[in-house]
Amino acid sequence: MVLPDPEVICIMTQNRPQTGDYALYYGKYIALVPGGDFLDILESQLRDTKTLLSPLTDSQGDFRYAPGKWSIKETLGHVNDAERIFSYRLLRIARGDKAPLPGFEQDDYVKAGNFAARKLSDLLEEFASIRQATIALVCSLDTAAWLRRGVASQNEVTALALAFIIAGHERHHWMILQDRYVPALLRP
C-alpha cells in the first residue's frame, strides 16, 4: 500500500459527526467507527479485509451463506461500488458543490456488477486501490472542507459524516463476512 508522503500534513478533524450531520439511517455505520486516528482506521480496515478474504479461493468467493444473499464476491463488489460513490459525494461536498447528489440502488448495482465473473483477488486489489484513493482524498481536505454540507440521497450530509460513513459501511460488511460467511465456509 502506498501511504501519503509523511512530509504532507494530513488534516482530519478527530471530531465525530453529530446526529444532524447525516440521515439517521447512516447512524448504524458511523457507530461502527472506533475512536482514534481516522487514517489509521482506514488503513487497518484495508489490512483486515485483505487478511480475511485473501486466503479464499475464487469458488469460495462465490459462496452465499443463505439463499438470496449476496456472494462474498458480490459483497466485496458492493463495498467497492459504495466506497466510490461515497467518496465522490465526499469530494463534491468538500469542494462546496451544492447540487443535490442522487442515491443509488445497491441491489441493481450488484446485479449489473457481474462480480461472479471476476477473481476474488482482483476485487481485493480493486478495494485496495479505491481505499488508497479515499485516503488521498481525506488527506487533501482542510478544516473548512470537513464542515461543508450538501445533499445526497435527498438528505443533508457533511463531508465529515461521509468519511465516517465510508469507514462504517466497510466495517458493517466486514463484520457480516467475518461472522456469517467465513465460519460457514470452514464448517465440515
Cα(96)–Cα(147) distance, rounded to whole angstroms? 10
Give me the residues paired with residue 158 across strands.
Answer: 149
The dihedral over CA atoms of 51, 53, 54, 60, expressed in degrees to the nearest 10, equals 150
Domain boundaries, the chain: 20-63+70-186
Q: Cα separation of 138 and 11, whole Å?
A: 8
The 3-class secondary structure across 23-88, one letter per residue, is CHHHHHHHCCCCCCCHHHHHHHHHHHHHHHHCCCCHHHHCCCCCCCCCCHHHHHHHHHHHHHHHHH
Mean pLDDT confidence for 17-38: 95
User: Rounded mean pLDDT of 54-73?
Assistant: 96
Mean pLDDT, the chain, whole residue set: 93
Q: What was the pLDDT predicted at 38?
A: 93
pTM, 2 dp? 0.93
Q: Dump pLDDT digits (tens) for 108-119.
A: 999 999 999 999
Lowest-confidence region among 8-12, 67-71, 156-160: 8-12
Q: Would you say 160 and 86 are in contact if contact means Cβ atoms under 8 Å apart? A: no
Q: Which CATH superfamily is domain 20-63+70-186 in?
A: dinb family like domain (1.20.120.450)
- Per-residue pLDDT of 9-18, as tens digits, reads 556 656 899 9
Give the residue-averaged pLDDT of 141-165. Answer: 96
What is residue 180's DSSP assignment?
A: I
Separation between Cα atoms, residue 125 and residue 46, nearest integer Å? 10
Range with the lowest mean pLDDT among 14-18, 26-30, 51-55, 60-64?
14-18
Does position 34 have pLDDT exceeding 50, yes or no?
Answer: yes
> Per-residue confidence at 185, pLDDT binned at 50, 70, 90?
confident
Confidence at residue 26, expressed as pLDDT on a 0 to 100 scale = 97
